[in-house]
Homo-oligomer: A and B are copies of this chain.
Amino acid sequence: MQNSLKNLFPNFSNELLSSIAENATEQDFESGTILMRTGQYIKNTILITKGKIKIYREDEDGGEFLMYYLQPGQACAISMICATKSQKSQIMAKVDEDVSAIMIPLHLMDKWMMEHRSWYEFVIETYRNRFEEVLEVVDSIAFRSMDERLEFYLKRHQDACGCNEVKLSHQEIASELNTSREVVSRLLKKMEQRGLVKLNRNQIELLR
């Protein structure tokens, strides 16, 4: 663990890495697991070492709007933000690809801020990145129409998975954009006509 951690979190000091090794446990979660529910109290800060997590904002009617991805080398900003006052989670986190994660008890998260400069910097950096990412999401829904939002969605998927195949049904995409399947189908067809994608069953190939 120590070794791979050093690769995933290259800026962590050796003291910090030792503290992690002493105090934190690594846990595995299968694809589909809900790691955190809206309204639930948060017990740990999570560092991802393997796999992929999707962070959603939920509404009262069960809508699940995709906010962003968490990947190896990253941490859950929400869990850090909620640390100080054992706040409730305002988001839902679902495992997208089988995940290994390091679970850090919340009191340590707070304690280490003072003890480890590299932890402090990592936390601030995490805040900053997530804030930026959320602002981009706001852009996409505040200023753009559904066709552009769909392209934005596919682009982020591409960035997150590092490949050009989207193995999701139109229905799943529609849910994460909070629109309907028919709209997604229509827009994808148009994108296909523009030569941006190739449509197959349960799979969309991104051509650029």
CB of A86 to closest CB in B, whole Å: 12
A141 and B113 CA atoms in complex are apart in Å by: 35
A139 and B130 CA atoms in complex are apart in Å by: 17
A90 touches B59 (CB 8 A): no
Contacts of A112 in B (CB 8 A): none
How many identical chains are in the complex? 2
Binding site secondary structure of chain A: helix
Q: Is A178 an interface residue (CB 8 A)?
A: yes
CB of A202 to closest CB in B, whole Å: 26
With contacts A113-B120, A138-B141 taken as known, whether A128 is within 8 angstroms of B65 at the C-beta atoms is: no
Q: Is A91 an interface residue (CB 8 A)?
A: yes
A128 and B84 CA atoms in complex are apart in Å by: 10
